[in-house]
Amino acid sequence: MAKKRKKNSGSGSSAVQRRAQIQAQAQLQSRSPQGAGGAPAGGAQSRTPSSSSTSTAGTSPKSVSTATVRTTTRTEASSRPSSTARQTQRRYTRQRVSGRTRWLIVAGALIVVLAIIGGFIVLSQQHSSSGARGSTDPEVLKTVTSVDSNLLAQIGTGGQKSPLKAVTNRDRLVGPHGKPEVFYWGAEFCPYCAAERWSLVIALSRFGHFSALPETTSSSSDVYPDTATFTFYGSSYTSSYIDFVPLEVEDRNQQALQTPNQEQQQLVNALNPSGGFPFLDIANIYMSQGQTVDPGLLSGLSQKDIAIQITNSSTSISKSILGVANYLTAGICVATNDQPASVCKASFIQAIEKQLPRAALAHSDSLAVNLTSLSAGLPPDNNSRQRHGYRTN
């Protein structure tokens, strides 16, 4: 009986050892990467304590540590990208950088282009504000060169005083093409010239056509500064009835612009001895000097603003500009013997003609003066203050 109990005791000791080995093996697997998620939980090693498991459980800590390091190293090595993968990644990175660089170059070029465009816009606005010559808005040009005859008839004289005076005892003024000449003497800086040009352009457009008529403004430092207007410098006009000869003697800065020839200077000296601006001679039959349209009416208005108000018969601008234009039209009709009839035979023009004074002309046609605007001749008088007698300063 004693022997039997001893045998059972040894068997129990053996079972305890096996359990300890199994626990040691489980602890070892939990420490290793495979134990964490490498080998399946239901694998053969975890189910049956095989001899290899027993051997592993019985190994020393040093051998276990070595096995763990080797397993970890293999895992890290497998997680590193291969050489091909690294090359692909570098190529992709370079492509991304290259693409970004191209977009940056494109964006920079766009910024430069926009800056250049903005600079041109600013410069154009500066030129416009400083009164530099430029192209007249086509709509404005159309408005002033094709005023409805019904509107002109409705305005009549507009309650304005006639700006025309009779020229006495002078030969008929004939232009470069043998037609009655309308001679204009003005300056771009002059605000009174700026106002008169509106009426003169409207009147002349009834006898011919402007194919070019630049815009500008009067001087910024004179009375009625920056009055919106046109300039006859650089203009182009054709007519079957009259020769229009304009001279813009000075620019906005009162610098010499166009020089009169000897005959033109003699005419100015005879009929406009002060040399003041503006001066208009209609074939040596009628002339006007100084203000014809009040530039104060146009103060602060743009070309387009003025053009719009001209078409409204109830405005002071319309009555003033169109009233003076009708007076000038009637004076030119006298010079052309009422041609064209479609313009000069209108009842309101005939009524105005009857109000105009008449004077006898000299009888020597051979002495008729032939003026041209581009010939070289005597320079204008340099005494600006005397010549610009309208000045208030």
On average, the pLDDT of the chain sits at 79
1-5, 74-78, 347-351: which has the highest mean pLDDT?
A: 347-351
Domain shared by 185 and 147, yes or no: yes
Same domain, 184 and 290: yes
In terms of average pLDDT, the best of 68-72, 203-207, 355-359 is 203-207
Is residue 364 in some structural domain? yes
Last residue of a domain, one of 59, 79, 99: 79
Select the more confidently predicted residue: 150 or 113: 150
Residues 94 and 75 in one domain: no
User: In terms of domains, do 250 and 364 share one?
Assistant: yes
3 falls within a domain: no
In a domain, residue 44? The reply is: yes
Same domain, 181 and 312: yes
Residue 261 pLDDT class (50, 70, 90 cuts)? very high
Q: Over the chain, what HEC string results?
A: CHHHHHHHHHHHHHHHHHHHHHHHHHHHHHHCHHHHHHCCCCCHHHHCCCHHHHHHHCCCHHHHHHHHHHHHHHHHHHHCCCHHHHHHHHHHHHHHHHHHHHHHHHHHHHHHHHHHHHHHHHHHHHHHHCCCCECCCHHHHHHHHCCCHHHHHHHCCCCCCCCCEECCCCCCCECCCCCEEEEEEECCCCHHHHHHHHHHHHHHCCCEEEEECCEEECCCCCCCCCCEEECCCCCEEEECCCEEEEEECECCCCCECCCCCHHHHHHHHHHCCCCCCCEEEECCCEEEECCCCCHHHHCCCCHHHHHHHHCCCCCHHHHHHHHHHHHHHHHHHHHCCCCCHHHHCCHHHHHHHHHCCCCCCCCCHHHCCECCCCCCCCCCCCCHHHHCCCCCC
Question: Do residue 109 and residue 180 come from a single domain?
Answer: no
Q: For residue 85, what pLDDT is reported? A: 65
Residue 220's pLDDT is what?
Answer: 96
Residue 25 placed within a domain? yes
Query: In the predicted model, is pLDDT for residue 131 greater than 70?
Result: no
Residue 226 in domain: yes
Task: Point out the least confidently predicted range of 5-9, 46-50, 184-188, 243-247.
Answer: 46-50
Q: Does residue 2 lie in a domain region? A: no
What mean pLDDT do residues 377-391 have?
A: 40
Question: 99 with 67, same domain?
Answer: no
* Confidence tier at 121 by pLDDT (50, 70, 90): low
- What pLDDT band is residue 57 in, cutting at 50, 70 and 90? very low
Pick the residue with more confidence: 127 or 392? 127
* Residues 338 and 263 occupy one common structural domain: yes
Q: Are residues 191 and 90 in the same domain?
A: no
Where is average pLDDT lowest: 15-19, 62-66, 296-300, 350-354? 62-66
Same domain (yes/no): 261, 179: yes
| 317 and 370, same domain (yes or no) | yes
pTM for this model (two decimals): 0.63
Please tell me the predicted confidence (pLDDT) of residue 132: 66
Residue 315: per-residue pLDDT: 98
- pLDDT of 101 > 60? The answer is yes
Q: What are 223-234's pLDDT values in tens digits?
A: 999 999 999 999
Domain extent at residue 75: 21-79
Region of poorest pLDDT, from 115-119, 134-138, 204-208: 115-119
pLDDT, position 272: 98
Is 9 a domain residue? Answer: no
Q: Percentage of residues in the chain with pLDDT exceeding 70?
A: 64
Residue 379 lies in a domain: yes
pLDDT value at residue 217:
97
What was the pLDDT predicted at 92?
62
Q: Out of 129, 159, 189, pick the residue that ends a domain.
A: 129
User: Do residues 286 and 309 both lie within one domain?
Assistant: yes
Q: How many domains does the chain have?
A: 3
What pLDDT score does 295 carry? 98
**Domain end marker among 69, 97, 129:** 129
